[in-house]
Amino acid sequence: MADRVQIFDTTLRDGEQSPGISLGVREKLEIAEQLQRLGVDIIEAGFPATSQGDFEAVGQIASRIDKSIVCALARARTDDIDRAWDAVKDAARPRIHTFISTSDIHLEHQLHKTREQVLEMARAGVAKARGYCDDVEFSPMDATRSEPAYLYQVLEAAIEEGAGVLNIPDTVGYSIPDEFSGLIAGIRENVRGIDSVIISVHCHNDLGLAVANSLAAVEAGARQVECAVNGLGERAGNASLEEIVMTLKVRHDLLGISTGINSTEISRTSRLVSLLTGYPVQPNKAIVGKNAFAHESGIHQDGVLKERTTYEIMDAASVGLVESDIVLGKHSGRHALKDQLERLGYFLGEEELNQAFARFKELADKKSSLSGEDIEAIALEYIRTEGQEWKLTAYEVHSGGKEAPPSATITLEREGERITERAIGDGMVDAACKAIRSALKIDAKLFAFTVEAITEGLDSLGDVTVQLDIGDRRVVGRGVSTDIVEASARAYLNAVNKVLR
């Protein structure tokens, strides 16, 4: 059996289904290109049948990515599969991933189909996809709650119709490791033709067992793992890419299985996904959290100072967590900014670089020097914006007092349009956000608001994240500034722009 596991990343598909995430095409391209630098084998770029925006994003990713396989998801339906192929057909290495539920609970309550009907739909779906593409993956959704004998029957039909990858999803995070490895072993023993295909797994984290289940499946013979950066995904998320990869790397002595991932890109990928999705990484998150390599205990500190391996099982540098020597100030030029951005892995176009440089100069006047983390935050402000968006060009706030409540006056511009609006609020941040809401005539309700300092010190840039409920959507916005009111206004406007797109 091969000793290499393929990493199938679903950040842009299942990860984007996390509540509040609404990525634009430019943001998805940036993530896809970073996933390719990371060394991901397969990028599941989206679900083209769900919207025109998703279709266009998958198409652009397919045309830009030349090393990783680009995969589109489709239900086992002719129209879905047609749409998926139209989106990925220009990829250097295209894949269609089609699926249908196989558990009785899904058949009865969601599909309203018999087992025989679903078996034929699975067979027809794979055959349709195989007519377009040599690389076809099939998933029996809710496999872990499906009756094994019926599951084997559906998998055999998929193999007969030409599927090269069979993915076994723990769709609702129901399984436990011994049970899941037993399911994979049963499939290997009972499904005719199984030796001619790759067994994949896709585990959800509802019980906190997604990584454990995935690794148990690998030990049982699975050779593709579907996962997401920072564990993003529906409900409690998916198996975390960084945890899967580093477990296989650190415990290669026991497991003897490798991946094609360049682990030094893990930290950068995690930060990029966090900043673009608006989902912060918890400090104690394994591998990529701020505290993952921090030591508070005196005993631990003493041990690490004497010999790192006393309390660290991996080197921070192995995941790209290295101290940055990048420091720029107000006298630094455009070329220096461009050079440092590229060292960090950000390659901005001319117009984006011009805007980032103008913003850099503005912030450098307020802060004596900007670190690598600050520069990265500036770059991401312009990666995550797209043409024809409203921009905050001026603001004035008053804290209020006995005679007058707090107020804010903001000016927004877009493609030659200019709006100035004033509002009062419970505080300056509230007033600024109300002014934006009034100016753009949009009904937005604040669901969550968080502030973090990017670096240490009183002049640190503040990173504000907001979640807004606008209509039936929850969207995330982020903004960065030394002034928390400005950062909050930028975050609020960033979220509103996502809906206005």
More confident residue, 497 or 305: 497
Q: Check pLDDT > 90 for residue 329.
A: no
CA 144 to each of CA 175, 197, 201, 424: distance values in angstroms, whole numbers, following the listed order: 7, 20, 11, 54
In this predicted model, which residue has the larger pLDDT, 101 or 354? 101
For 210-230, write each residue's pLDDT tens digit.
Answer: 999 999 999 999 999 999 999
Highest-confidence range of 373-382, 450-459, 489-498, by mean pLDDT? 489-498
- Report H helices in 52-176: 52-64, 78-88, 104-106, 115-132, 148-160
Q: Is the pLDDT of residue 148 over 90?
A: yes
Check residue 306 and give its pLDDT.
64
Backbone phi, then psi, for 407, in 5-degree steps? -145, 165
Q: Which pair of tokens denotes residue 124? A: 């027809």
pLDDT value, residue 275: 81
Residue 220 tokens read as: 């049982």
202-216, 289-303, 331-345: which range is least confident on average? 289-303
Kindly report which listed range (57-61, 128-132, 302-306) carries the lowest average pLDDT score.
Answer: 302-306
Q: Which residues make Cβ contacts (< 8 Å) with residue 251, sequence separation at least 6?
A: none
Question: Is pLDDT of 439 > 90?
Answer: yes
Model confidence pLDDT, tens digit, residues 65-96: 999 999 999 999 999 999 999 999 999 999 99
Range 325-351 average pLDDT: 80
pLDDT band (50, 70, 90) for residue 383: low
- Rounded distance, CA 172 to CA 187, Å? 20
C-beta neighbour count of 159 within 10 angstroms: 19
How does pLDDT run across 263-317, given as a tens digit for each residue? 999 999 998 999 888 888 998 999 999 888 875 545 444 554 566 677 678 888 8
Query: What single letter denotes the amino acid at residue 186?
Result: G
For residue 385, what pLDDT is reported?
Answer: 59
Show Cβ contacts of residue 186 under 8 Å, excluding neighbours closer than 6 positions. Answer: 148, 152
pLDDT level of residue 118 (50, 70, 90 thresholds): very high
β 417-424/165-170 pair status = unpaired
What pLDDT does 472 receive?
Answer: 81
- Judging by DSSP bridges, how do beta strands 473-481 and 462-470 pair with one another? antiparallel
The string of DSSP letters for 412-472 reads EEETTEEEEEEEE-SSHHHHHHHHHHHHHT--EEEEEEEEEESSSSTTPPEEEEEEEEETT
Average pLDDT over residues 120-134: 98
Q: Looking at residue 300, what is its pLDDT?
A: 46
- pLDDT band of residue 325 (cuts 50, 70, 90) is low
Average confidence (pLDDT) over 352-357: 85
Per residue in 18-47, pLDDT (tens digit) is 877 878 888 899 999 999 999 999 999 999
Q: Is 365 exposed, middle or buried (0-12, 13-18, 19+ CB in 10 A)?
A: exposed
DSSP states of 225-252 as a string? EEEBGGG--STT-B-BHHHHHHHHHHTH
Encoded tokens for 81: 């599969």
- The CA R_g of the chain, rounded to the nearest whole Å, is 24
